[in-house]
Amino acid sequence: MLSRTSQYALRSVLFIAENSHARRKVGVGEVAKALDIPKYYLAKILRKLAVGGLIRSSKGPGGGYYLDSEDFEHALIAIIEIVDGPDSLKKCALGLNTCSSEHPCPIHFYIGPFRDSLLQSLSEITVGDALQQLKEENVFIANLLTADEKKKENGRPDERH
Amino acid sequence: MLSRTSQYALRSVLFIAENSHARRKVGVGEVAKALDIPKYYLAKILRKLAVGGLIRSSKGPGGGYYLDSEDFEHALIAIIEIVDGPDSLKKCALGLNTCSSEHPCPIHFYIGPFRDSLLQSLSEITVGDALQQLKEENVFIANLLTADEKKKENGRPDERH
DNA sequence: TTATTAAAGGACTGAGAAGTCTTTTTTTTG
DNA sequence: CAAAAAAAAGACTTCTCAGTCCTTTAATAA
Ligand code: FES
Ligand code: FES
């Protein structure tokens, strides 16, 4: 549905939103470890998001990524568009080069409305909205560790991701 | 949204549905040309669909692919599942390894319902339903040729795809 | 029964997404 | 100022999906 990259991006932004403010920044390594995302790959994604103005960054000791209060107002779709390019969700489900009711494919009227609603949602929900969800009991942004992984964690407590 | 492969698969099945019956079969080349899909790649997809029991095939002169009357009853989701593997549309939008209301991600309740409706549609719509749409005026399964492409067609009328 | 036709099968290539690593730049702090 | 910390930058690898090509098998028709 969404590319792995935009999944990483969404989860990271929410993690940063939850764990940072202007005086408490989070580093790539911290995010990577918490969400089990390859560290150096994540670094690239976060850079894109920072360049795109969706998150903030600062270098040096005590530096890292954080969200400013305005950043909570961005719609989730903006995150997806920055990493996956725009319009990735507006295309014809069958891959035709136009999608319109004037030149529809055979499933346009069947599935179009749902796809549009989905897109609409992603355009309306802000980072703040999603963060609120995340703060609810039993809402997660990271996978639970399997028994195996827990053992691994204990065995090599300082392992890099 | 859907992989390119399942887009090819859906369009091909509909094309075959429209243009074949037990005595008038269509070949890979014919489908590839009509839908502008790479011929040898399409061949693989059609083989999968045939093995999966969604379309029929026969070898030799006059052979090709066709649909039996029962084949019109298959849901579109079956086509997607055969080429992309099962459950490709049931996964968590953020890539968590479970998707459930008991262990939801922060956008589960926002977008889940629409995704479920989408999946529901694809499970209900049959090849026959989509074919009926296709027979409507102005419903298409192939891209219009651009001016450039038309010229190419004329210049090299027997070009392989 | 032989030639022809079309799918079946399998080996290979290419492009793009995902992942890794090293070096450079910027900032803080002692 | 020097050392350390962290992002920024960029080169490189790996993997998966998409695409190509060639050979084999099966069916038909002359
Ligand atoms: S034309 Fe295919 S989804 Fe709109
Ligand atoms: S848990 Fe993420 S969509 Fe259901």
CATH of the domain at B88: 1.10.10.10
Q: What is the pLDDT of residues A48-80, one digit of tens each?
A: 999 999 999 999 999 999 999 999 999 999 999
pTM of this prediction?
A: 0.91
Residue B160: inside a domain: no
Task: Residue A10: give the domain boundaries.
Answer: 4-155
SS3 A89: coil
Atom of ligand 1 nearest to the CA of A104: 1
Structure tokens at B4: 């390119």
Q: What is the pLDDT of residues A101-157, one digit of tens each?
A: 999 999 999 999 999 999 999 999 999 999 999 999 999 999 976 544 554 455 444
Residue B161: inside a domain: no
How many other CB atoms sit within 10 Å of the CB of residue B67?
Answer: 25
Strand D nucleotides below 7 A of a protein CB?
Answer: 4-10, 17-22, 25-29
Which candidate in B4, B10, B114 is best for mutational testing of the A interface (most A CBs within 10 A)?
B114
Residue B30: inside a domain: yes
Report the alpha-carbon distance of residue A3 to residue B94 in Å, rounded: 9
Report the alpha-carbon distance of residue A70 to residue A129 in Å, rounded: 13
Pocket around ligand 1 at a 6 A CB cut-off: A 92-94, 96, 99, 104-105, 108, 112
Q: Is B94 in the pocket of ligand 2 (CB under 6 A)?
A: yes
- Specify burial of residue A46 (Cβ count, 10 A radius: 0-12, 13-18, 19+): buried
Closest nt to residue B58, judged CA to C1': C7
Residue A113: inside a domain: yes
Residue B8: inside a domain: yes
Q: What is the pLDDT of residue A115?
A: 93
Closest CB to B122: pick one of A1, A111, A117: A111
Report the alpha-carbon distance of residue B42 to residue B136 in Å, rounded: 26
Domain count, chain A: 1
